[in-house]
A and B are shown apart, each in its own frame.
Chain A
Amino acid sequence: MARVTISEKYCTVNPLKMSPSIGAALAFLGVDNSMPLLHGSQGCTSFGLVLFVRHFREAIPMQTTAMSEVATVLGGFDNLEQALVNIAGRTKPALIGICTTGISEIKGDDMAGFLKLIRANHPELDGIALVDVSTPDFQGAFQDGWAAAVTRMVEELIEIPQFETRLSRRINVLPGCHITPGDIDELRDIFEAFSLDPIFLPDLSGSLDGHIPTEFTPTSLGGISVEQIRRMSSACWTVAIGEQMRGAAITLEHHTGVPYKLFGRLTGLAPCDELMGFLSEISGVPVPKKYRRQRSQLIDAMLDGHFYFGGKRVAIAAEPDLLFATSHWLHEMGCKIQVAVTTAESPVLETVPVDEVLLGDLEDLELRSVGADLIVTHSHGRQAAERLQIPFYRIGIPVFDRLGAGQQVSVGYRGTRNLIFEVGNLIMANAHEPTPETWIPKQQQSHDLVTLQ
């Protein structure tokens, strides 16, 4: 049982955390033909937009209500109205996802009221889904914003049919924000191998997987359609991935009666076994040969890899669900988690295999990483890793100094196997060759140095 403590610093140094506003914006980007809109000043949008561009290496549709000082004092109604009308006129999206920021939250803009009035005054917005979500950037972190946006989409968009018509193969999947476009593709293959028909909310694999569209489009390039979201009530099951999605899954069940099953993680042998068992049970299809073989390959990779992982000390910093998945997997490979840093509260933190989980920043990570064999966090860990000369594996968002961040796969037997290879190779590459001094005790070495001088 890990203790969860909060860093007692006044000055955050090298932040790990990102804001819920852009977490929510990313969730909206998993809907086809959508446009996230941050209700705040221009910078709120532009900083997040640049971050996503660098991570995904894709154009990112994202707009701002461009609040000025005066508008902030008077209230954001006019700016929100203008923004919605402008977006509707210029890009004709199917959905506009409106995320608040510190500015609009402190001012206390009544979003529901605003939207009702704007709808009434603007028939040109008919046919465009408008979903607002409260994401003050002084509360919670990225994954909280993502989860809140999904819950709001469930609340606002799903239609409850008068007569229940369930599609026997239809499964709703609610992936957390740590599930990459590549992960979603992998999961879709797995579900389909059981003759199931999964739809993902949000589905970044359609929009930010990196593909060449045939036409120019100013909104998201793909993803789940608003129409598909409306019909999520017709699924037999909802599968939620990551504790962050529990709220959305419960809301979905509450609205539609579709039962849910939550997987805390899908990285590692046991969680994958659990998924296979579950899918086989609900589909009535025995686990396909392909996955039996993949399981065997994963076990072989664990055998080959455990020599390099065993006893290695790992420093890890990530959002709660990603920390949970990655630290358990590393622990299961024989690593010792030397330090775990995260961004926000979550029920999973207590179960992380470490004495203490710290809500802190990358300075906290760096100070506690001395002597570690591996640092695991997002790209901003690069300076710490360089200073400490420790091998560095990048996970989460942002990863801006490596190619293919959106296609990094860590779920399923195959994803776990590849993760073993990638991280194992990194550890291997840093193995120290023995020298004549290797077995001389440290004290004597320094003594020798002194006498030499």
Chain B
Amino acid sequence: MSSLGSKVQQVLNEPGCATNQAKPSFDRKKGCNRMLAPGAAAGGCAFDGAKIALQPITDVVHLIHGPINCEGHSWDGRGAKSSGSSLYRTSFTTAMTEQDIIFGGEKHLYKAIKEAVRKYNPPAVFVYQTCVPAMIGDDLEAVCKAAAKKLGKPVIPVNVPGFVGSKNLGNKLAGEALLDYVIGTEEPVETTPYDINIIGEYNLSGELWQVKPLLDELGIRILACISGDATYHEVARSHRARAAMMVCSKAMINVARKMEERYAIPYFEGSFYGIGDMSDALRRIAQLLVDRGAPAELLGRTEAVIEREEASAWERIAPFKARLAGKRALLFTGGVKSWSVVAAMQEAGLTVIGTSVKKSTPDDKERIKAIMKDDAHMFDDLKPREMYKMLKEARADIMLSGGRTQFVALKAKMPWLDINQERHHAYAGYEGMVALVSEIDKALSNPIWEQIRKPAPWESSIARDEFSIHVA
């Protein structure tokens, strides 16, 4: 446990995280692990975060050591897509029982690893520690070590009992597991000057595939995406990349920074959301590769692709302008994503009347101010009740947010679009922004809104008049 404790400390005090470095030294050590308020908390635990970060690795067994609460309710629940193996969608757990609690779960775990390997023969097994086995003292690292030796396969301990902290912390601890046990353990068959890693992209709804064709066209090879649509071997060989992009969320900043330290792979922080951001990302990837020795002509080719794609995207967004002009949108999402989609929405004619800045850095906030000018309403934390009131009073025409607030909008009979991680549509790259605008249009123009807002036949005529004035 003490090693886990020091790991947590180390991860929280992440030097690569600008948000954290901006804090006074005393707060810095605490990192972003804010104290959770009992009875007023929302969100997952560290184990949840680790699973989110690693489960997109498609061809390995992800084995959860814990009672049924940890895996039984959440398996096969996320939309990370695979171009190959579907083993990552098979759920493995020790489903601990009272027997394990009394006698210890180590032997059970060992036998479970063995059984999973015998039946499914994966290139590796990731084993996740949860609260209950941590409490009773099951030594995860020791069991994994023994199993790896005996079975002749990598068995990776992911020590993330839920109670050590938040989802974000779990993301980072998952990254540590990759750094400690996976990355750099194998050599790629061949390398090219165009090899990159993409870190912190999970290929939800296939978003990586909205971006990959452009990289393919430029001859840029994704050596490893960590961890969207990745295979075990790709991650193990990722230390030979020439450059890396860390995708917007800071979930895996420790991976990017330590790979730079250990393997001299320079990285930048970028985003695939928004047209401008996508172009920036391509430019910076090309620049980093050229800096590391790729032929300089890559820059010119990249600019040509950017020019073509931007023109095409704006051209496809243009027809929506008339339809969306003057519509007011409320945006609720974490961090960087806020400002990176605002630009595209404005270009499509929408007015963004407010956005959340709960997870944004001061830097993000400045950018939002600059983009939104006077209209900027930034909410640190809007209670669902207030949100409902805003929507009910029709101060916005559509809300874009995550699943958590979905029903606040829908119950107020207000169009809503999912832009969080559980969403079913892919919004990355140029294609993604066109899709986003088109989805907003689809949501706003659906004929149900007019129908469901009409009063019921038994509501009085006076009430009916008031209602029509109100919605007009």
Contacts and interface: CB of A to CB of B under 8 A. Distances in A.
A84 B38 CA distance: 8
Interface residues of B, number: 69
B72 A43 contact: no
Interface string B188-201: 00000000000000
A345 to B, nearest CB: 12
Given A69-B161, A102-B69, A137-B69, A43 B44 contact: yes
A18 B113 CA distance: 22
Contacts of B114: 10
Given A47-B48, A48-B73, A53-B403, A63 B41 contact: yes
B462 to A, nearest CB: 18
Contacts of B43: 42, 46
Given A10-B108, A216-B385, A41 B97 contact: no
Interface string B78-113: 000000001001111111111011000000100111
B111 to A, nearest CB: 4
A406 B123 CA distance: 41
Contact of B73 (A9, A19, A212): A19
Contacts of B116: 11, 13
Contact of B93 (A12, A21, A141, A383): A12
B75 A216 contact: no
Interface in B148-178: 161-166
Contact of B91 (A14, A37, A58, A218): A14
Given A15-B71, A42-B162, A103-B132, A84 B39 contact: yes
Contacts of A40: 69, 131
Contact of A15 (B42, B75, B411): B75
Contacts of B70: 43, 47
Nearest to B170: A43
A18 B72 contact: yes
Interface stretch (A85-93, A151-159, A242-250, A299-307): A85-93
A379 B63 CA distance: 21
Interface string A95-137: 0000001110011000000000000000000000000000011
B413 interface: yes
A19 B67 CA distance: 8
Contacts of A9: 115
A51 interface: yes
Interface in A33-81: 37, 40-48, 50-51, 53-54, 58-59, 63-69, 71-72, 79-80
Contacts of A168: none
A126 B442 CA distance: 49
Contacts of B40: 63, 83, 86-87, 90
Contact of B45 (A10, A15, A43, A72): A43
Contacts of B403: 50, 53
Contacts of A21: 69
B37 A86 contact: yes
Contacts of A47: 44, 48, 69-70, 73-74
Given A15-B75, A41-B163, A47-B69, A65 B115 contact: no
A435 to B, nearest CB: 31
Contacts of A46: 42-45, 48
Contact of A14 (B38, B90, B108, B163): B90
B384 interface: yes
Interface string B122-145: 000000000110011000000000
Nearest to A107: B135
A363 to B, nearest CB: 8
A347 interface: no
A66 B384 contact: no
Contacts of B132: 102-103, 106, 138
Nearest to B37: A86
A213 interface: yes
B36 interface: yes
A138 B101 CA distance: 8
Contacts of A65: 38-39
Contact of B39 (A10, A59, A85, A216): A85
A106 B90 contact: no
Given A11-B116, A43-B48, A212-B411, A106 B74 contact: no
Given A41-B162, A137-B68, A72 B131 contact: yes
A107 B68 CA distance: 18
Given A19-B69, A69-B163, A138 B77 contact: no
A425 interface: no
B72 A15 contact: yes
A80 B38 CA distance: 7
Contact of B136 (A11, A45, A106): A106
Contacts of A37: 39
Contact of A69 (B91, B164, B411): B164
A414 interface: no
B407 interface: yes
A380 interface: yes
B163 A72 contact: yes
A218 B384 contact: yes
Contact of A19 (B39, B68, B119, B388): B68
Contacts of B388: 216
B44 A138 contact: no
A103 to B, nearest CB: 5
Contacts of B71: 15
Contacts of B86: 383
A43 B64 CA distance: 14
Interface in B390-419: 392, 403, 406-408, 411-413
B36 A42 contact: yes
Nearest to B387: A216
B267 interface: no
Contact of A103 (B77, B95, B135): B135
Interface string B40-55: 1111111110000000
Contact of B115 (A11, A17, A106): A11
B76 interface: yes
Nearest to A56: B407
B360 to A, nearest CB: 22
Contact of A10 (B115, B161, B412): B115
A54 B69 CA distance: 17
A18 B135 contact: no
Contacts of A66: 36-39, 41
B94 to A, nearest CB: 7
B301 interface: no
B108 A82 contact: no
Contacts of B111: 10-11
B146 to A, nearest CB: 15
16 contacts: A10-B115, A11-B63, A13-B91, A43-B47, A46-B45, A48-B69, A59-B411, A66-B37, A69-B163, A84-B39, A102-B69, A102-B101, A102-B131, A103-B131, A137-B69, A218-B385
Interface of A: 9-15, 17-19, 21-22, 37, 40-48, 50-51, 53-54, 58-59, 63-69, 71-72, 79-80, 82-87, 90, 101-103, 106-107, 136-139, 141, 212-213, 216, 218, 380, 383, 400
Closest 10 CB pairs of A and B: A43-B45, A83-B39, A86-B39, A83-B38, A11-B112, A59-B407, A10-B111, A66-B36, A216-B388, A137-B69
Given A50-B74, A138-B100, 19 more contacts: A10-B112, A10-B114, A11-B111, A12-B95, A18-B72, A42-B36, A43-B44, A43-B48, A47-B70, A51-B74, A66-B39, A68-B164, A82-B37, A85-B39, A103-B132, A106-B101, A106-B136, A212-B413, A383-B86
